[in-house]
Amino acid sequence: MTASENLGVLIKETQAILHQRMDEVLRPLGLTVPQYACLQALHDTPGITGSELARRVFVSRQSTNIVLQGLEKRGLITRSDDQGPRRERATELTGAAVALLGEARTGVAAVAGRMTGGLSPADARRLHTLLTTCRDALAGR
């Protein structure tokens, strides 16, 4: 295996463990990682399109709709009855979602801190730059 292939495997292993650790802190809150990512994206980018939401949650548009339906049933989001452009419905967080998201962010931040705890601030910034470069190369940017 080449050095580049080894690096790709290491990144994938890291992502899988990160997902598992995030799941461990989110599960007691009744959230999955995709639900958390969805709430986070809706909070950070009000009016986000369904397509962009799917990209940020790393699932298909159809799966995003299923995630949204579950969040709506739990009273964590409200969705407009009126369809906007491209048949999309405006989606907003409820007060309960904002409170839950605050708790969830605390747990996820602890996981991220654990992941980068052995890095100096300069190393963490450098890793961010390097991973951004790798992502952009694959995305054709």
Residue that is written with structure tokens 């009126």 in the block: 82
Give the pair of three-digit tokens for residue 39: 């709430």
pLDDT cut 90: percent of the chain above it: 74
When pLDDT is averaged across residues 116-137 and rounded to a whole number, the result is 96
Q: Which domains does the chain have, with CATH numbers?
A: 3-139 (1.10.10.10)
Q: How confident is the model at residue 89 (pLDDT cuts 50, 70, 90)?
A: low
pTM for the structure as a whole: 0.87
Model confidence at 58, pLDDT cuts 50, 70, 90, reads: confident
pLDDT at 84 over 70: no
Mean model confidence pLDDT for the chain: 92
